[in-house]
Amino acid sequence: MQNGNRTGRQADATKEKTLLETHPGAWVSFGDYVLGTVLIVPFFWTLACVHPFFPWTIWIALAGLACIGRGLAAQCCTTYTVTSRRVIVERGFLSSRRTEILIRDIRNISCEAGVAERLLGIGTVSVGTAATGGMEIRMPGIPSPQTVANVIDRLRN
């Protein structure tokens, strides 16, 4: 009988379909990109214009590159997936973190966008369960957030 149950569970798992997979938009990391650029500019300015060269600008340029790398990692290494059974958020580059909520456990869906986010067509979708009392998954920087919220809501009902 246990073999029958395992086979049934495996069959259910194969029926799961990915309905939506997205990454945060580039605007989520806009601050990192601006700060990185501001920190890198003095390095190139001292290379081109100032004699003698100031070695401390190398450290500032490295900090700028780190800011830009952080922004790229936040954007490229975060995946939001909605399947027919779950909402999944995966984050990480060297280490990874995965959060899942079963569709049947979802009690609350929230879609937020400030003025600038609305102009850019991005927003934050938050998903909560009855067990947490608040929002368990927060997905900032999603392109077309209302569409994502509608897909999850249709699955829930």
For the chain, how many structural domains are there in total? Answer: 2
The pTM for the full model equals: 0.76
Distance in angstroms (rounded) separating the CA atoms of residues 146 and 134: 20
What is residue 52's DSSP assignment? S
125 with 49, same domain? no
Token pair in block for residue 83: 């399947």
Q: Do 94 and 121 share a structural domain?
A: yes
List Cβ neighbours of 78 (8 Å cut-off, separation of 6 or more).
23, 24, 89, 90, 91
Per-residue tens of pLDDT for the chain, all 157 residues? 444 444 444 445 568 899 999 999 888 888 999 999 999 988 888 777 776 767 778 888 899 999 999 999 888 899 999 999 999 999 988 888 999 999 999 988 999 999 988 998 899 999 988 776 767 889 999 989 999 999 999 998 8
Same domain, 109 and 83: yes
- C-alpha to C-alpha distance for 64 and 58, rounded to whole angstroms: 10
* Domain match, 65 and 120 both: no
Q: Which SS3 state, helix, strand or coil, does residue 136 take?
A: coil
Residue range of the domain that includes 100: 2-23+79-156
